[in-house]
Structure 1
């Protein structure tokens, strides 16, 4: 009993002491924050560092009076912010970089689109479930980092970001990418690792400045036929997509990562055509069922639908501004879209392809890269426009 009566008062005093210390620390941090912002206003700082300040709300001092009209870079890493103020652009109109890595931000206000000069936005490691369409109004944005959030889709308006060079949406819950992403003509680095992607829009092949594409640890079963056709694209990483069985032959001379791809057990030579046919059927989702065709080496006549599409495409390609000169025709929207974005181009002669492809497989074990990529059973696939090109194509030149 004596021992117990001695310990209890001591414990109570210790608790009071800890509470007092925490209060002092919180008070000191508030004072330090106030002084930091006051100094930034007085000396017209262009950069302001508010990392690790234990902030739960956006500091009101930043939004008082005229705000910080001259501030260009604001760093607020590892706080506890849950949202941003609606008048952020009004009070900080000259922001070029906004760094909000590792907070608890769940909502981005529509007013974010008013930051006309913003070039870099980092919202990685937050709690975002939605990205508002107004993100597309950030016409100066060059770097957008949204990794490790809870995003299930990206708004189509992201395609309005003509200056965007870097987009990182890894570690989210994305099941697809917006087709309009191909309008981000300046995009150089796209990272979509650790999501739920089952396919990649073929329109991405029109990103002619894209140099690195990373889609590791997704659910990909198929890659666009033209992926790698652009000379700029030099690095492609699709590691740990266990159901991905074929890589377009354009990637043969690129730097690729494909460990953990392909089936868990090697595919027998006789099964490869069937496997590819299934993959192609999945890839051509959206096209009328009657044109989901995989040609073979014995097919000597290209289907009429394909010949018609190729003829229409030649007119469209040579006269892109004179679409009214096209003959009056009625086609499903998916086929009309193909006039602008073909399914692919022949890996042998570059002929555009729309409703049929002739695949030729080159198992990795038969290529020079077999020793480099040991943890995979994936194959390279050449896609040709006819049985003639199919027979004459050679992977190594």
Structure 2
């Protein structure tokens, strides 16, 4: 096997191969033949799945500088060296089914990366630098131990497919609603209690799969005309409660922490804090793009973040909302691929900015 491997690599060097297949070779170490002399300067695609590799060499980018695709599916890789960030042309990186516990921040230097697959590892967090991957189209982090997703993920402006199934995620960052190219979001088998109010507001988002999130009782009505998978949602018998520990009446849905007040049809005036934030938001939207150029005021960081990324927008008039919502429930309807079964008790929820919008909103209007 060693002789056959060496011959394959020598031939690849001599004939300037662009593709090299080293799958199922029972490799425990990265082949030194790949790194001798000048390396394989012409190699673009390296396939090394189903081996027993535990790490990668630090000089990988130096010896294989033109790699576009690197497939390391099903190895025993525990750590990726920081030098991985030097693979300037890399577009596809598959590290699925390994033993990764940590992903180095230098991954964020792979500015050409379009597909990153990290499923079935032991990752407990993702580096914020992932947000620097502006060309990233596919991200698969399913079957890990992630407690949260980086808020900076919204900077991956090209992201189209995000899969985070089978993690202990409790929420979806509302910043992800700003991913205007996102077409498919899959977060099945997590611990979600609510979804961002604006989720589905983008026309590009067409597929949302949140099956088997037992405490998820409400879907934003922006998802009404999307393809939704929500089997096994809303099956928990424990009613969710509001911020102050008081039941939300018939609205048994989880709400973001920023929600301070749940309005009713009889409210006629929203709180002063909400009015102030709406006013500042309008100044920010139509004024300077830099928050530091706004009028000199002092606000907690949480409120400054809200100014840039509102909690949601009214489903009736698109007014930005920050601290108060007026929810309205509608029965869930079957969608093309939803496969909703009888254990699912989740509903659509419209979130409005005022009692007037609440009263006049019709899901099918």
TM-score range, shorter chain: over 0.9
Q: Distance in 2 between matches of 1:82 and 1:368?
A: 46
For 1:20-35, list aligned pairs within 5 A. 29-35=1-7
1:253 partner SS:
coil
Counterpart of 1:197 in structure 2 is 169
1:279 partner SS:
coil
Counterpart of 2:326 in structure 1 is 358
Structure 2: gaps of 5 or more residues: 240-245
The 1:149/1:321 distance shift into structure 2, 3 A limit, reads same
Counterpart of 1:220 in structure 2 is 192
Q: Distance in 1 between matches of 2:227 and 2:136?
A: 23
Structure 1: gaps of 5 or more residues: 1-28
Counterpart of 1:311 in structure 2 is 279
Deviation at 1:328, TM superposition (A): 1.3
1:265–1:377 contact (8 Å) kept in structure 2: no
TM-score scaled by structure 2? 0.94
2:126 partner SS:
coil
Deviation at 1:278, TM superposition (A): 6.7
Q: Size of the alignment, in residue pairs?
A: 357
The 1:272/1:372 distance shift into structure 2, 3 A limit, reads farther
Counterpart of 1:59 in structure 2 is 31
The correspondence for 2:294, drawn from 320, 326, 330, is 326
Q: Confirm whether residue 177 of structure 1 aligns to residue 152 of structure 2.
A: no
TM-score scaled by structure 1? 0.87
The 1:89/1:317 distance shift into structure 2, 3 A limit, reads same
Deviation at 1:263, TM superposition (A): 2.5
Query: Over aligned residue pairs, what C-alpha RMSD do you find?
Result: 1.9
For 1:101-250, list aligned pairs within 5 A. 101-250=73-222
Q: Confirm whether residue 36 of structure 1 aligns to residue 8 of structure 2.
A: yes
Greater relative contact order structure (CA < 8 Å, 6+ sep): 2
Q: Deviations over 1:241-281 (max 9, x none)?
A: 001000000111000000000024598xxx9944746722x
Q: Distance in 1 between matches of 2:169 and 2:290?
A: 36
Counterpart of 1:99 in structure 2 is 71
2:228–2:335 contact (8 Å) kept in structure 1: no
1:94 partner SS:
coil
Q: Report the structure, 1 or 2, having the larger helix content.
A: 1
Q: Distance in 2 between matches of 1:53 and 1:322?
A: 54
Q: Deviations over 1:82-120 (max 9, x none)?
A: 000000000000000000000000000000000000000
Q: Distance in 1 between matches of 2:103 and 2:276?
A: 41
